[in-house]
Structure 1
Amino acid sequence: MRLDFFDLQLFLNIVDTGSLTKGAERSSTSLQAASERIKKIEQQFAVPLFTRHASGVKLTIAGQTFAEQAQLLIQQSRQLQQVMAPFAEGLNSQMTLWCNSSAQSEYLPLLLPQYLVENPNIQIDLKEAETNDIIQALEKGTAQLGLISNFFNSDHLQTLEFSDDPLVLICPMNHELKDKSALQLVDVLHYPFVGLMQYHSLQQSIETQAKLLGCTIQYRLRLPNFAAIAQVVANGVGIAIMPKRAASRLKIVYSFHHIELTGDWANRKLLLAAKNFDQLPVSYQHFSQFLLSKKSKLLI
């Protein structure tokens, strides 16, 4: 015999009414059927659950234990029905993922289509921001999940490694830097740059590093995305800094040299960050598990 929730509710109805007859009526079943079900439960556990007397039934000690557990199971069943009902009704769940420029343009477009196809009721809002701002939002609770650079202090958050995300310098084919295999940021700040628009988090990060070195970047042109920058650099306008993944992708289309940048700031990693992963809503936990399970697809 397999115990089901009808049996549990029948048992509790009998306990509540103190009568096998009234418990059967409340469960909309016959007295004989109710008696047989209770007898089978007692046989299954090899203990009597009730003592019978003229005015009704009374729980044994084993019956009291069974009643406590049955009540818990019934409550859990109702909770399960409540949390699952919205999904059956086609609930749309919306999540916001905070991320830097590189994550938004080079990594997430590769992964998000699969997740969204597999979860048609999910909506994801990508909010681009500089890593420092993402960290502050996570710490304050205004953000729940973010992709950040490991270059910044995130000691008050829980982080999990997501992907390597090094930065490289790109320059025209005939540029005087073309034969360099590796450079530091300070070595190139006196050259004219092509950069992202001011609102892009990566460009803000580059400018912050330049200021720490006592320099101001000279821009010949600002553009909205890496593809536009690669095209302009290939045409000889200036040099630029972008994620290695973007440079590798765009080098197939445009002719330019890319040069490794040294230093912790440039050889960064992307981290998936939250204040506490275990306390995230279920939808965010599921999304986090998906992102981390696809790390192997992100190798440069």
Structure 2
Amino acid sequence: MRLDFFDLDLFLNIVETGSLTKGAERSAISLQAVSERIKKLEQHYQVSLFTRHSGGVKLTYAGQVFADHAQVLLQQGHQLSQAMAIFGEELNTNISLWCNSSAQSEYLPLLLPQYLVKNSHIQIDLKEAESNDIITALNNGTAKLGLISSFFPAFELHTLEFADDPLVLICPEQHDLSHIQTLKLADCLNYPFVGLMQYHSLQQSIETQASLLNCEIQYRLRLPNFAAVAQVVANSVGIAIMPKRAAQRLAKLYAFRQIKLDGDWANRKLLLAAKNFDELNTTYRHFSQFLVSADLQKILD
């Protein structure tokens, strides 16, 4: 005898309705076919699964054990179908990943090629946006998956840790702060800054911290990206704050000092966020698992 999922589903329909006739109707087969299938099950396992009475049927003890296992097997069958669905989809499957500038420039260029090489049918569309805009897009359903800074509250979203993404202060090699190993934001606010453009969420978060100290940052120049900021700082125009990973990369191109910043706001993380990871389709769940399980330290080194 070959047991199939239809038999298990039929059996549970009979259990739920308490009737062979109603179970047959729910499974869309004839009553005679139901009787034959149940009889074959009972003969195969050499047990009685139901007791018959005038009002319908009732499970025997063996039938209850069979029902418990049937539910588990059907659930596993559903999970198997979901896992295999990705391979039965169209040749080219698109994933849209929203990410902030730090994730987009410092982590994903090294990480995503590994995934794309192993999954040749996948295409990834990166959408760079500010963390607060990504949170809004995830909440309203515009985005499915995003990488955001832990600095921004995302209480309505499900989040998983993706990477440590601390901030550092960079300054010219010949600067009053260049000999310091660690400092607080308050220790450097009297110096002129080189910053990112006003719309950039990182710059907004830095200004928020400054305002909490009743200070206002003095900008000598605002620029659109970390590379431009690093170049100008190296030319002794001012100091700046940027992600540590970006500073390490740009230190190979420009001469400046890096100083650790003290405080929870500076020791931020990158979070992978979704409205509900369990409700994502198989493709997105598979990609999410890759992102959070990747050995980033090994890749970045």
- TM-score using structure 2 length: 0.70
Quickly say closer, same or farther: Cα 1:84–1:196, change in 2 above 3 A. same
Q: Shift of residue 171 of structure 1? A: 0.9
d(CA) in 1 for partners of 2:83, 2:270: 33
Given that residues 101 and 202 in structure 1 are in contact (C-alpha distance below 8 angstroms), is that contact kept between their aligned partners in structure 2?
A: no
Mapped to 2, the partners of 1:79 and 1:252 lie a distance apart of 48
- The aligned residue for residue 249 of structure 1 is 249
Q: Give percent identity, aligned residues only.
A: 66
Is the Cα contact below 8 Å between 1:194 and 1:221 reproduced in 2? yes
Residue 290 (structure 1) shift: 0.6
2:94, 2:123 within 8 Å by CA — same for their partners in 1?
yes
Q: Distance in 2 between matches of 1:171 and 1:165?
A: 19
Report how far residue 80 of structure 1 moved. 8.5
Tell me the number of residue pairs that the alignment of Structure 1 and Structure 2 aligns: 274
CA shift in 2, pair 1:208/1:120, >3 Å: farther
Q: Structure 2 vs 1, CA of residues 107 and 41 (structure 1 numbering), >3 Å: closer, same or farther?
A: same
Residues 128 and 201 in structure 1, CA contact (< 8 A), matched pair in contact too: no
Distance apart, 1:155 and its partner CA: 2.5
Distance in structure 2 (CA, Å) of the matches to 1:7 and 1:275: 36
Asked if the contact 2:104–2:128 (Cα under 8 Å) also holds between the matched residues in 1, the reply is yes
Deviation at 1:167, TM superposition (A): 0.3
Tell me: CA distance 1:181–1:100, structure 2 relative to 1, closer, same or farther (3 Å): same
RMSD (CA atoms): 4.4
- In structure 2, the partner of 1:203 is 203
Report the counterpart of residue 105 of structure 1 in structure 2.
Answer: 105
Q: Which ranges in structure 1 are unaligned for 5 or more consecutive residues?
A: 20-37, 50-59
1:51-96 CA deviation, whole Å, 9 max, x = no partner? xxxxxxxxx999xx99xx99xx99x999988996884463433222
Q: How far off is 1:276 after superposition?
A: 1.8
Give the counterpart letter for 1:179 in structure 2.
H
Match of 1:297 in 2: 297
Provide the residue aligned with 1:29 in structure 2. none
Structure 2: distance between partners of 1:264 and 1:230: 24
Does residue 126 of the first structure (1) align with residue 126 of the second (2)? yes
Aligned to 1:34: none
Matches within 5 A, 1:121-160: 121-160=121-160
Once the two structures are superposed, what CA deviation does each residue of 1:23-48 show, in whole Å capped at 9, x if it has no partner? xxxxxxxxxxxxxxx99988644479
Q: Does 1:215 align with 2:216?
A: yes
Contact 2:169 2:240 in 1 (8 A): yes
Check the 8 A contact 2:193/2:217 in 1, yes or no. Answer: no
In the TM superposition, residue 182 of structure 1 has moved relative to its aligned partner by 1.7
1:202-230 Cα deviation digits (max 9, x unpaired): 233333433444414413241x3323322
CA contact (8 A) 1:207 1:217 kept: no
8 A contact 1:182–1:262 mirrored in 2? yes
